[in-house]
Amino acid sequence: MEATQPYSLQDLADACGGEVVGDAQTLIRGIGTLEQADPGEITFLTNTLYRDLLSKTRAAAVILGPSDRHATALPRIVSDNPYACYARIAQRLFPFPQAVAGVHPSAVIDPAARIAASASIGPQVTIGAGAVVGEGVVIGAGCVLGAHVVLGEGCWLYPHVVIYAGCEVGARCILHSGVVLGADGFGMARDQGGWVKIPQIGRVLIGADVEIGANTTVDRGAIEDTVIEEGVKLDNQIQIAHNCRIGAHTVIAGCTGISGSTRIGRNCRIGGGVGMVGHLEVCDGVTVSGFSLITKSITQPGVYTSSIPSQPHRIWMETLANLRALPQWVKKLRALEQDIQKLKEE
């Protein structure tokens, strides 16, 4: 994919705060991997395992860290954080698309809604009474905003996002297709062999600069609000249940399920496929490995893992048989410890 316009290596270094080594006027028209980059593209090295590919790449320039400063003769940008540098350069080469302000004729907007003149409202959009759409907001085709929904300035909603009544989204948030904010939490009371629905009267509150991936759902609170703090990044197909709170700048990978009333701290990193049971607290600075199951609160920062890596089927069946026998071995071990203790006392 070619950028809308070429930039010199110096321009790109200025964008990310890196240092140019070599020809600063090298023109860059795109980005590629070390293996696939074409002439005219810039590539990046963030993992020393791929250093050998530097001698084979056809890229015009490369982004790398100080330890690899002399690893290539190509024009290069040296950065203390080459991956973040790459991200900022990618933003410069491929800026966010600009939308045209205005309301599509097929949109249905309640007269009591307030829509900024600079907002862009796509076809078949529905906006309820009392909703507020801020400056520069872009709402894609088929989105639905319930009554009294608030969208902060600069938000971008891709097609078919649904935001239920009363929910609020902070400035510059990105909501990808299929996101649902504010659906009812799973609240039921058992009664006479059946279930009585508990009205979910809380809201979903989203802070500024949050990005939420496709088909991710965030349930409204049962009584209090479900809160996603500023700078949180959520991947695709995540379920966040009612009354949860996700701390600022935490990132959560796809297919994770977080049960109700769980509180996750700031700057946490949650891998894909993680499950968290309800009413837990996870402190700041925690990393959870993919496919882990968290059943107790975490009070100390660090890396937590509970998954069992795959094994050949025959070995797994043997492991499983040993696990089933484990309670018997524990009983025998405790009995043996008691016998040893008696011998010591004699």
Question: What tens digit of pLDDT does each residue of 102-145 get?
Answer: 999 999 999 999 999 999 999 999 999 999 999 999 999 999 99
- In Å, how far from its chain's centre is CA 276? 16
**Mean pLDDT score of the chain:** 96
For residues 293 and 308, the answer to whether their CB atoms sit within 8 Å is: no
For residues 138 and 157, the answer to whether their CB atoms sit within 8 Å is: yes
The verdict on whether 242 is a catalytic residue reads yes
For residues 270 and 264, the answer to whether their CB atoms sit within 8 Å is: yes
pLDDT of residue 96: 86
Average pLDDT in the 196-207 region? 98
Asked if residue 329 has pLDDT above 80, the reply is yes
Query: In the chain, what are the domain boundaries?
Result: 7-93, 102-304, 312-346
Average pLDDT in the 92-105 region? 93
Rounded distance between C-alpha atoms, residue 285 and residue 268, angstroms = 5
Rounded distance between C-alpha atoms, residue 244 and residue 224, angstroms = 10
Determine how many CB atoms are found less than 10 A away from the CB of residue 320. Answer: 11
Instruction: Give the Å distances, CA to CA, from 147 to 168, 175, 253, 305.
Output: 11, 18, 31, 42
Asked if residue 3 has pLDDT above 90, the reply is no
pLDDT of residue 38: 94
The active-site residue, picked from 70, 104, 176, 242, is: 242
Please give the span between the terminal C-alpha atoms of the chain, in angstroms, as a whole number: 81
Average pLDDT in the 325-336 region? 94
Rounded distance between C-alpha atoms, residue 151 and residue 131, angstroms = 8
Average pLDDT in the 173-185 region? 98
Does the domain spanning 7-93 belong to CATH 3.40.1390.10?
Answer: yes
Closest by alpha carbon to 60, among 89, 98, 81? Answer: 89
Asked if residue 258 has pLDDT above 90, the reply is yes
Q: Quick one: pLDDT band at residue 97, thresholds 50, 70, 90?
A: confident
Model pTM greater than 0.85? yes
For residues 64 and 71, the answer to whether their CB atoms sit within 8 Å is: yes
- The CATH T-level fold of domain 102-304 is UDP N-Acetylglucosamine Acyltransferase; domain 1 (2.160.10)
